[in-house]
Amino acid sequence: MQEVDRILQLREELHRHNYRYYVLNAPVIGDQEFDTLMHELQMLESRHPEMFDPNSPSQRVGSDLSQEFRQVEHKYPMLSLSNTYNRDDVKDFYVRVSDGLGNEPFDICCELKYDGLSISIIYEHGALVRAVTRGDGVQGDDVTTNVRTIRSIPLKLDGDKSYPANFEVRGEVLMPWASFEKLNTQRREREEQLFANPRNAASGTLKSKNSAVVAERGLDAYFYYLLGEDLPSDSHYDNILSLNQWGFKTSEAMRCVSSLEEIYEFIDYWDRQRSTLPVATDGIVLKVNSLSQQARLGMTAKNPRWAIAYKFQAERACTRLNNIAFQVGRTGAVTPVAEMEPVLLAGTIVRRASLHNADIMNSLHLHRGDYVYVEKAGEIIPQIVGADETRRNAGGEPIPFISLCPECGTPLVRYEGEAASYCPNDVSCPPQIKGKIEHFISRDAMNIEFLGPETVDEYFNRNLIHDAADLYSLQVGQLCGADGSKLKSARKIVESIQKSRSVSFDRSLYALGIRFVGKVVAKSLARHFGSLDALQRAAREELLEVEGVGEIIAQSVISYFHDERNLMLIGKLEMAGVNFIMENHIEGSADGVLSGKSIVISGVFTRHSREEYKDIIESLGGRNLSSISSKTSFVLAGENMGPSKLQKARSLGIPVVSENEFLAMTDIS
């Protein structure tokens, strides 16, 4: 292939990977592979200046901008660091710094490179006023409301007041391993796509439109840079120590060194020890310690000359692929799973690896008996990244993705816009039926104790249950065993089933397993409609008024209640006494001051929380909406109201009421 053609091919490929990484948060290649492609493009473009294109991926920093957030310009550009995977580049960086400073002495601050989402936070007089993502380096997304939910980030500084009146602090928003594992466990139970690594999970969480989702996912943040006009020291290292004294979380691993040998020692140590950390790291950042020396070294168009990132190699193992099994989940999604010879990888024995879907599986061109390369995405999820074709057995057969359900033989379908293949037979496909029952009894749903997948499987195979409603017909005599040896456990199971009748409506709604309706959405729907009957009657427009409900969720809810089989199940559950009414649901006073009014809440408030204002509105006869339309009576606006909402309100002539005006209007203190 000619070099010009290769340039065009690389640009298209890198644009696609940039989009998947920064917008979809769903990369399909690793950082090292991406960097290799980028370096190849930069090399070829340097050979062919006539191919210059301002829109080439090499000419810009990747962006995580979202059109759903207000964009804010950075006072100081947030440029990315040049990065490397080898020691020679580290040595070259060290020599360049020495030459650039005229061989005067300098120190290097060695820091862990955390694998999360870069954030810039502005503080004025000790109070957090704005948090902005890196974006394209020039401007980023205003995620202040979401950042306020992260408990490790100080909202107001205490202490000796030694901090500047105005300053900017930069850091990384992370999802700790413990939070990541908990989140993926929940998503696995709901048969939602797993996050590949904590970085994607943190990014997806911080960009959530629902701050309640952010709050419950346990994000963390480490800070590594201080900017402003009146800093405590010329030493970057000392400034980070000051940050720690002011209440910011900083890395205890940071070390200031004065030789290349000490840098190598730091790299080697943390390459071995990084697996012991509570959060993901993917390398080491090296910074010239003196801020005045940083200023003298300056910047290139995209990177500071005074810093570089050394990235760790992903640990990889090679093992034999024995087979690919196909698993059917409760929604009918079929997942291919590679079964391999056991191999030690990143401290654990790996035998299986998800291949996710047909597209990913087919892109690997796997043959039975292949020797495959396995890596751990984010050091935790095993994934096959390729096969060693030089070791392929000449008689090895390609392994195709199946066309029939491995459990019931029904032809698989693939819905438009979805990567997964599905078995549509949710009536008699055993894994789907059992999976729905397991979801129904789970802790976050009906919380039926002493029942698990093995017990559900046993009862299903004994024809004691065919759906979730059959649980309420179980008798102790059916479960205690022929010799009565299981009498005690049988009584506990039946008691727990009977007890589940009284769980709250949001949990019984979640237990139904409506596609895309997770715990948070179920709670919003239950709160908004108050009963299953009202939810069933809701039109699309009414559903879209609920916070967190978009077109996909609304259509899923409508489709669920138009299926006769689902209505039959609901009927059986209602006859069994399952609660489908919101306890203490606030209907609102018919003659309340807000009776008949539909209100949208936007912004940050000081007197009451958003949830408290929702309760106040409902108690006074009003109705909470999540989006502005011609039916909106007024907008209750706090600080930092979204500009798109403000513009829409003005264009429709909808009144915008401040917090104090609202309290005066409702006579609430």
| Domain range list for the chain | 3-59, 71-311, 316-391, 430-575, 598-666
Q: pTM of the prediction? A: 0.55
Strand positions, DSSP E, 419-466:
421-422
Residue type, 310: Y
Query: pLDDT tens digits for 366-402?
Result: 999 999 999 875 556 788 989 999 999 887 789 999 9
Residues with Cβ < 8 Å from 44, sequence gap 6 or more? 3, 6, 7, 10, 51
Question: Per-residue confidence at 20, pLDDT binned at 50, 70, 90?
Answer: low
Dist CA 529 CA 509 (whole Å): 12
- Is the distance from CB of 476 to CB of 490 less than 8 angstroms? yes
Q: For Cα atoms 39, 40, 42, give the angle at the middle one, nearest 5 degrees.
A: 65
How far apart CA 657 and CA 203 sit, in angstroms, is 33
Residue 23: predicted pLDDT: 45
The count of residues in the chain is: 669
Non-local (6+) Cβ contacts of 575 within 8 A are: none
- Overall CATH class of domain 430-575: mainly alpha
Contact between 659 and 606 under an 8 Å Cβ cutoff? The reply is yes
Per-residue model confidence (pLDDT) at position 496? 95
Give the fold, CATH level 3, of 316-391.
OB fold (Dihydrolipoamide Acetyltransferase, E2P) (2.40.50)
* pLDDT of residue 566 exceeding 90: yes
Percent of all residues in the chain with a pLDDT value above 90, rounded to a whole number:
45
Q: What is the pLDDT of residue 132?
A: 94
pLDDT of residue 59: 63
- Asked if pLDDT for residue 112 goes beyond 60, the answer is yes
Give the list of residues 6+ apart from residue 224 with CB closer than 8 angstroms, or none: 111, 114, 170, 171, 172, 240, 250, 251, 285
- CATH superfamily of this structure's domain 71-311: DNA ligase/mRNA capping enzyme (3.30.470.30)
Q: In this structure, are residues 524 and 505 in contact, taking their beta carbons and an 8 Å threshold?
A: no
Q: 3-59 maps to which CATH number?
A: 1.10.287.610
Q: Is 113 an annotated catalytic residue?
A: yes
DSSP 392: -
Say if residues 579 and 504 touch (Cβ distance below 8 Å).
yes
pLDDT at 111: 96
Digit-coded pLDDT (tens) for 25-63:
567 777 777 878 888 888 888 888 878 776 677 765 444
Catalytic residue chosen out of the listed positions 113, 287, 434, 436:
113
Q: How confident is the model at residue 88 (pLDDT cuts 50, 70, 90)?
A: very high
Model confidence pLDDT, tens digit, residues 499-531: 999 999 999 999 999 988 988 789 889 988 989
Say if CB 627 and CB 600 are below 8 A apart: yes
Query: What is the pLDDT, as a whole number, of residue 63?
Result: 47
User: 359 near 365, Cβ under 8 Å?
Assistant: no
- Options 3.40.50.10190, 3.30.420.40, 3.30.160.250, 3.30.230.30; CATH of 598-666: 3.40.50.10190
User: 32 and 311 in contact (C-beta within 8 Å)?
Assistant: yes
Residue 443: HSE in the Cβ half-sphere, 13 Å Cα cutoff:
3
If we measure between CA atoms, which residue out of 219, 71, 215, 197 comes closest to residue 133? 71
Domain 430-575 shares a fold with domain 598-666: no
Phi, psi of 615 (to 5 degrees): -65, -40
